[in-house]
């Protein structure tokens, strides 16, 4: 009978995990400076070089941001619009950089169906919020988003609160509900516009749309958002850089 042997993990990854747990616990909030490397090294009883490597790994994952001459800070969706382009992959065809305008169409409370429950890691029938919005780019409706969120994490979400927030949607989730989106997985397919999406995107019914299905994750790789974006590509395109 085979016995499982302990999995070796480099020391810097162990420190990375400890820092990430401190971030998840809110020890340092979004935008806050974390302690200097020498202080963290003393706290965890390791060398400063080990801490530096752990911090570098967290920066590579966009959990932390290093600022020359200032220190290391907790990444935040509210800091700069440019940072939100990491999750917004739609660009104007004319090459101009523009952060889209957002129009809220609907926000309602519902029950999770089987597929939504599976993707969010919740139970069938659990309460969710479903948010529908249109993103405008180049003076045209470009994306119809349907966003589903577990209600337990977004208690008190209302149209008024969403409309009153001046920044990005992910900034809103972070600042108001303490839910930070750290990474996302996406799947792209081609679909035909139905009557509702055609009307909201100002295209003919049956027109081709790019469907972007996303699951977003927070700390601990916990899924906290399911989203389907329908993109009309007359004036915009989906862009990604592979490295």
Q: What is the DSSP string of 21-48?
A: HHHHTTSS-TTPBPPPHHHHHHHHTS-H
Check residue 38 and give its pLDDT. 92
12-35 burial by CB neighbour count: b if 16+ within 10 A, else e?
Answer: beebbeebbeebeeeebebeeebb
State whether residue 227 is helix, strand or coil: strand
**CATH number of domain containing 40:** 1.10.10.10
Check residue 98 and give its pLDDT. 85
- On the question of pLDDT at 210 being above 80, the answer is yes
Same structural domain for residues 156 and 221? yes
Cβ(125)–Cβ(111) under 8 Å? yes
Last residue of a domain, one of 37, 55, 74: 74
DSSP assignment of 70-134: TEEEE--TTS-HHHHTTT--EEETT----PPEEEEEEEEEEE--HHHHHHHT--TT-EEEEEEEE
- On the question of pLDDT at 6 being above 60, the answer is no
- Average confidence (pLDDT) over 165-187: 92
pLDDT digits 0-9 by tens, 127-141: 999 999 999 998 999
Residue 1 lies in a domain: no
Rounded-to-integer distance, Cα 30 and Cα 26, Å: 8
- On the question of pLDDT at 39 being above 50, the answer is yes
Percent of all residues in the chain with a pLDDT value above 70, rounded to a whole number = 94
Check residue 184 and give its pLDDT. 94
Check residue 29 and give its pLDDT. 85
Last residue of a domain, one of 41, 58, 74: 74
Q: Among 73-77, 119-123, 152-156, 159-163, name the one with the lowest average pLDDT.
A: 73-77
- For the chain, count helices (H), then strands (E): 8, 10
State whether residue 199 is helix, strand or coil: helix
- Average confidence (pLDDT) over 138-166: 95
- On the question of pLDDT at 186 being above 50, the answer is yes
Domain that holds residue 145: 82-238
Check residue 85 and give its pLDDT. 66
State whether residue 190 is helix, strand or coil: strand
Mean pLDDT rounded to a whole number for the chain: 90
Residue 2 lies in a domain: no
Same structural domain for residues 131 and 22? no
Total-model pTM: 0.85
DSSP assignment of 165-211: --S-HHHHHHHHH-----EEEEEEEEEE--HHHHHHHT--TT-EEEE
Tokens coding 61 = 């994952």
pLDDT digits 0-9 by tens, 211-231: 999 999 999 899 999 999 999
pLDDT digits 0-9 by tens, 45-101: 999 999 999 999 998 888 898 988 889 999 888 765 445 567 888 999 998 888 899
Q: Closest by alpha carbon to 99, among 141, 147, 138?
A: 138
Q: What is the CA radius of gyration of the chain?
A: 20
Last residue of a domain, one of 52, 74, 96: 74
Q: What's the pLDDT band for 232 if we cut at 50, 70, 90?
A: very high
Same structural domain for residues 116 and 232? yes
Q: Closest by alpha carbon to 99, among 166, 159, 150?
A: 166
- Average confidence (pLDDT) over 104-120: 97
């Amino acid at each position: 009978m085979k016995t499982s042997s302990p999995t070796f993990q480099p020391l810097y990854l162990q420190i990375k995990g400890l820092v990430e747990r401190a971030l998840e616990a809110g020890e340092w909030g979004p935008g806050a400076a974390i302690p200097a490397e020498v202080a963290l090294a003393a706290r965890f009883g390791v060398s400063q070089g080990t801490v530096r490597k752990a911090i570098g790994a967290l920066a590579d994952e966009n959990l932390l941001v290093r600022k020359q001459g200032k220190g290391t800070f907790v990444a935040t969706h509210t800091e700069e619009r440019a940072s939100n382009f990491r999750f917004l992959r739609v660009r104007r065809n004319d090459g101009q950089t523009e952060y889209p305008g957002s129009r809220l169409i609907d926000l309602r409370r519902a029950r999770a169906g089987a597929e939504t429950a599976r993707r969010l890691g919740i139970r069938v029938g659990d309460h969710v919020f479903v948010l529908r919005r249109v993103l405008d780019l180049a003076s045209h409706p470009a994306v119809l988003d349907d966003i589903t969120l577990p209600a337990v994490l977004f208690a008190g979400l209302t149209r008024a609160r969403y409309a009153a927030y001046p920044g990005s949607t992910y900034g809103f989730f972070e600042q108001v509900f303490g839910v930070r989106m750290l990474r996302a997985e996406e799947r792209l397919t081609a679909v035909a516009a139905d009557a509702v999406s055609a009307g909201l995107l100002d295209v003919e019914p049956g027109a081709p749309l790019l469907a972007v299905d996303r699951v977003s994750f927070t700390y601990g790789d916990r899924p906290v958002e399911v989203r389907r974006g329908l993109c009309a590509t007359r004036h915009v395109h989906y862009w990604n850089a592979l490295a």
